[in-house]
Structure 1
Amino acid sequence: MQITTPDIGVDKAIVAEILVKVGDTIAVDDSIVLLESDKASVEVPSTSAGVVKSILINQGDEVSEGTVLIELQAEDDANAVETQQAGAADKTSENTPTSLPDDEILQEVASYQPSTAASQSAAPAANAGASATVEVQVPDIGVEKALVGEILVQVGDEVEVDQSIVVVESDKATVEVPSTVAGTVEAIQIKEGDTVKEGVVLLTVKTAGAAPAAQPAAAPQTEQVSAPAAPEAKAENVAPAPSAPAGDMEVKVPDLGVDKAAVAEILVQVGDKVEKDQSIIVVESDKATVEVPSTVVGTIKAIHVELGQSVSEGVALITVEVEGQAASAPTPAAKAEAPLPKAAPAPAAVATKAEAAAVPAVHSADKLTKEQNAANAKVYAGPAVRKLARELGVVLSDVKASGPHARLMKEDLFAYVKNRLTAPQAAPTPAAVAAPAGLPKLPSFDAFGGVEEKALSRLQQVSIPQLSLNNYIPQVTQFDAADITELEAWRNELKGNFKKEGISLTIMAFIIKAVAYLLKEEREFAGHLADDGKSVLLRKEIHMGIAVATPDGLTVPVLRNPDQKSIKQIAVELGELGQKARDKKLTPKDLQGANFTISSLGAIGGTAFTPLVNWPQVAILGISPATMQPVWNGESFDPRLMLPLSLSYDHRVINGADAARFTNKLTKLLKDIRTLLI
């Protein structure tokens, strides 16, 4: 069992002290490692009890969430190994596979070398019989306890790696627990209604291997050829090791800051070698396009997602054979096992595809109405059933459940689809698709020359639901103009020295600083309307979204605490965020938490525009290109550089007079930036 770095609130931390050593017996919540960041020192507790088997980090190492810290052996497993080694000289062929709870104990017993000839001949015989039994335990499911809602397998069933075996339920979610090994179910240790937690044994699986076939040959040869028998038996015992999960790691979807995102591009192939932090998948949400990096170094063994698939945090993207951990070459036994797990599900897969192809109209969950999505959320169904429903284009709330506790089963979906196929096609689907926009279906343009269809970019497609929220905001725009003649002259004086340092000093850096200063006074403009509509939630910090144009569309990375930074710091971070956005290198944290946004047309052109408030924010500032204009000074006209401002705001929170006062203050700050120092 591996203990990994939990969410410590920062991207990276340094290992300041290792509080345990190999061989130590530790309990749950015992501190194992001390981590330090620029914010705090944190002692990481163990999530399980047992004996420290190995320490996988060193003092001074840099770690992040999910980094493996130590490898732990459960106390029961450790006792089993000690008993096995102590009695190795007295072992006989009567030993059963159940004496070895998992592959790790098997490998330790196989590597044990007794000094007597009698024990040398007995150990291989014991290992040959015990090499096939593995316990499947409850993984980390994000909660302390959960109830067993459904057991999906029976004793004697053949299971594959990642096949769902048990459904567990908590007050937060329903989770299908997958098998970590392939083989035959020997025993089920739990029953429906049991309360389980991480580490609890669910069932024991007998893995398919060559050990049983080797036993008949080993019996008659024990007396005649005792010397070669030991290496042969040992080679057979090592066979399960390559299929063990020690050398394979899954790279999963990190926290994206949104419930789900679509796979826009797969940057690697099976067989490719990947480095740590190398981008492997591009995902798109309504906020941005994000490249997901690999967390390990190794060779890609499998890719678990497809283009267009919706994914969320924790979904496995790829399986990587980690360098230095995988076996050098698979044994014949391992090769023989490979095709067996894939043969079983073939009929079901074919049936699913055939039935899916027969559905007259398929629509994704994103195209459902708000009412349908709300109804679906209340349906009791597992992730696998929900995925199948999306593939078949079925609204879950329309299907009658037949499972225990009104649980929706796969059979219910198939029955519903077949029933639909036999009924007349009343075409309710187009109405459901048109409902979110509230617009009627497009007419035919065939009589007027026809049309040519051009697909929106993925970023544009996933932005539509977020932009549609603006229909519910009573938005008003306040226009003004700021005299930035002196400010521009000062910027021109400074930009030469900034350029020598590789920093691009734009007028935007000064605007951000001025707006951040003003938001400290006018806090409502950086607040949020409460859900009940009776109060305004005033944020304690300022995090400013800066709209950046990219080839795929508009994205809005977030500049943190600009009120606490100098003009130079803001300019540096602006350049970094803009480049990351254009290179698709923005992380989920780069896009979260903004409470005010600035959108600039820059050098693109135009005189003014009405930016849309980005819910749940209540205000957004639009900046148009500055132009030289004649301004009356009381006696004559002076040429002044005027910057157009467009402040859009949610009228439920901000009054027109407040908006006018805000832009007026901003024009004064920009006219004389020295006001910030007073």
Structure 2
Amino acid sequence: MGEFTIKMPDVGEGVAEAELVEWHCKVGDPVREDMILAAVMTDKATVEIPSPVTGTVLWLGAEIGDIVAVKAPLVRIGIAGEGGDTLSDEAGEGGASDAVTTTETVTASSPSFQRGEGGSQGRMRGAVGSEQAKTPPHPPFGPLLPSGEKVNRAAPDALAKPLASPAVRLRAQDGGIDLRQVSGTGPAGRITHDDLDLFIARGSQPAAPAGLARNTSVEEIKVTGLRRRIAEKMSIATSRIPHITYVEEIDVSDLEDLRAAMNRARKPEQPKLTILPFLMRALVKTISEQPGVNATFDDNAGIITRHGAVHIGIATQTPAGLTVPVVRHAESRGVWDCASELIRLAEAARTGTALREELSGSTITITSLGAMGGIVTTPIINHPEVAIVGVNKIMTRPVWDGVQFIPRKIMNLSSSFDHRVVDGWDAASFVQRIRTLLETPALIFIEG
């Protein structure tokens, strides 16, 4: 029998290492050519690694969450052939790199590479959670039920798979457990290893309806993939940037009236306006007067870069985690154009089709939790930017006009600044100018 070694591929972009985020096989598994073996993640891409040969897995070179260097051995596969033959070197230099493919099931904040036969870089895609990555197809009949009857995977009721990680599925298959009979206690009913342990301890009997009982379970979740990238970025931002947060109350009653009127008069091809396109236009006008806020700071080199282009990052929640798609050149876009681009980018981020340039290069960021925006937030700056504007929810409050209390629609802006670059006075002036524009929305549309 020969041996074929698959090495960590070079995914381009000067990447020297990648994080292993998924295994789709274990030692002893038979594999066939083009079957997905693993998924690895770099800062900007998640890449699936298929097998270039048919054989049996002999060795796995890393655990989930490990950082693996490019060209380091990753998988060894035993293949049929004369004893002593090995294809390790061939795989490391050419086969492994050329075999790399990227599917649409990659990570949410980062695009991925699609490579052809020669390994050339193609269109980059954003991603959705790696939990949805492809799994190898199962045979028509799967593991045994506790009664000894086989599960017919072709049956219609077998197509609705319970939520579980690949490791839990493999363990259940090895133990002849039908996951449809196991109650999941994880998020969205996901079945965990503890759930399997409890199921086995009960003698593989379905759980009785839960009553009031103590829950002593403890679940340890390793921080990997996109969640690790988010954690690293937040750690850098909070440890290296001295934040100053300024909160101001804004009366958006007139703006809301204008927005409602524009939505009623919009053309069929025009999107429905939210408050964000108006805020984006207010940011652009304010930045033209205070360009120091539209900047990035390289604190290692001690260089502040002020940008003429206003590339606004929009913090967006996706199934896999927080991403920041970028509306590029907002200074050249009107309200309707900003709204259209916002909708397009948000959809691309959520479905994993955003391009690399659509997920990077912002010069200032807006963060909003919509109706859940709370009264006050303390946004963390998107390093290496120097400012972020947080939108809180709109509430109707009584406001004294000098004669009586009248109902007005009030919204707080919670904005954070890098205090090394932006002084408190400049931060307050910046927010007060935005307030003026939003409270007198006609000014947003006046050029000059």
Provide the residue aligned with 2:380 in structure 1: 612
Measured in 2, the distance between the counterparts of 1:539 and 1:575 equals: 25
Tell me which amino acid in the other structure corresponds to 1:667.
Answer: R
Give structure 2 stretches of 5+ with no counterpart: 26-30, 55-59, 91-215
The 5 A counterparts of 1:376-525 are: 451-456=218-223, 458-469=225-236, 470-496=238-264, 500-501=268-269, 503-525=271-293
Provide the residue aligned with 1:264 in structure 2: 21
8 Å contact 2:33–2:51 — kept in the other structure?
A: yes
Provide the residue aligned with 2:11 in structure 1: 253
Helix, strand or coil: the match of 2:379? coil
After superposition, the Cα gap between the structure-2 partners of 1:451 and 1:162, relative to the gap in structure 1 and judged at 3 Å, is closer
TM-score normalised by the chain length of structure 2? 0.57
Q: 1:518 deviation in Å?
A: 1.6
Measured in 2, the distance between the counterparts of 1:648 and 1:670 equals: 19
Give CA deviations for 1:324-376 in whole Å, capped at 9, x if unaligned: xxxxxxxxxx985797225999xxxxxxxxxxxxxxxxxxxxxxxxxxxxxxx
The 5 A counterparts of 1:201-600 are: 253-255=11-13, 261-265=18-22, 271-272=33-34, 284=41, 290=45, 301=52, 308=65, 310=67, 340-342=85-87, 451-456=218-223, 458-469=225-236, 470-496=238-264, 500-501=268-269, 503-531=271-299, 536-600=304-368
Measured in 1, the distance between the counterparts of 2:255 and 2:40 equals: 40
Helix, strand or coil: the match of 2:372? coil
After superposition, the Cα gap between the structure-2 partners of 1:500 and 1:601, relative to the gap in structure 1 and judged at 3 Å, is same
Q: 1:655 deviation in Å?
A: 0.9
After superposition, the Cα gap between the structure-2 partners of 1:564 and 1:260, relative to the gap in structure 1 and judged at 3 Å, is farther
Q: 1:291 deviation in Å?
A: 5.1
Tell me which amino acid in the other structure corresponds to 2:229.
Answer: V
Measured in 1, the distance between the counterparts of 2:88 and 2:338 equals: 59
Q: Once superposed, what is the RMSD of the aligned Cα atoms?
A: 4.4
Measured in 2, the distance between the counterparts of 1:526 and 1:472 equals: 19
Q: 1:465 deviation in Å?
A: 2.3
Give CA deviations for 1:492-542 in whole Å, capped at 9, x if unaligned: 233356584373422112212211222222111121334467653212322
Q: 1:553 deviation in Å?
A: 2.2
8 Å contact 1:624–1:643 — kept in the other structure?
A: yes
Provide the residue aligned with 1:116 in structure 2: none
Measured in 2, the distance between the counterparts of 1:500 and 1:313 equals: 51
Q: 1:660 deviation in Å?
A: 0.8
After superposition, the Cα gap between the structure-2 partners of 1:581 and 1:556, relative to the gap in structure 1 and judged at 3 Å, is same
Measured in 2, the distance between the counterparts of 1:517 and 1:293 equals: 44
8 Å contact 1:251–1:317 — kept in the other structure?
A: no
Measured in 1, the distance between the counterparts of 2:384 and 2:360 equals: 12
The 5 A counterparts of 1:635-674 are: 635-674=403-442
Measured in 1, the distance between the counterparts of 2:88 and 2:73 equals: 23
Tell me which amino acid in the other structure corresponds to 2:339.
Answer: A
After superposition, the Cα gap between the structure-2 partners of 1:596 and 1:308, relative to the gap in structure 1 and judged at 3 Å, is same
- The structure whose Rg is larger is 1
Give CA deviations for 1:405-446 in whole Å, capped at 9, x if unaligned: xxxxxxxxxxxxxxxxxxxxxxxxxxxxxxxxxxxxxxxxxx
TM-score normalised by the chain length of structure 1? 0.39
Measured in 2, the distance between the counterparts of 1:579 and 1:516 equals: 24
Select which of 389, 401, 412 maps to 1:633.
Answer: 401
Measured in 2, the distance between the counterparts of 1:599 and 1:573 equals: 16
Measured in 2, the distance between the counterparts of 1:255 and 1:555 equals: 20
Q: 1:566 deviation in Å?
A: 1.8
Q: 1:309 deviation in Å?
A: 5.3
Measured in 2, the distance between the counterparts of 1:523 and 1:291 equals: 36
8 Å contact 1:625–1:643 — kept in the other structure?
A: yes
Measured in 2, the distance between the counterparts of 1:281 and 1:562 equals: 40
Measured in 1, the distance between the counterparts of 2:439 and 2:71 equals: 50
Tell me which amino acid in the other structure corresponds to 2:230.
Answer: S
Measured in 2, the distance between the counterparts of 1:619 and 1:660 equals: 12
Kindly tell me the number of residue pairs found equivalent between the two proteins: 306
Provide the residue aligned with 1:386 in structure 2: none
Q: 1:314 deviation in Å?
A: 10
State the identity %: 30
Give CA deviations for 1:156-180 in whole Å, capped at 9, x if unaligned: xxxx99999xxxxxxxxxxxxxxxx
Measured in 2, the distance between the counterparts of 1:544 and 1:668 equals: 20
Tell me which amino acid in the other structure corresponds to 1:453.
Answer: E
8 Å contact 1:254–1:313 — kept in the other structure?
A: no
Helix, strand or coil: the match of 1:659? helix
Give CA deviations for 1:468-491 in whole Å, capped at 9, x if unaligned: 221222211011022221222222
8 Å contact 2:294–2:387 — kept in the other structure?
A: yes
- Structure of higher RCO (CA pairs closer than 8 Å, 6+ residues apart): 2
Tell me which amino acid in the other structure corresponds to 1:253.
Answer: V
Measured in 1, the distance between the counterparts of 2:72 and 2:309 equals: 32
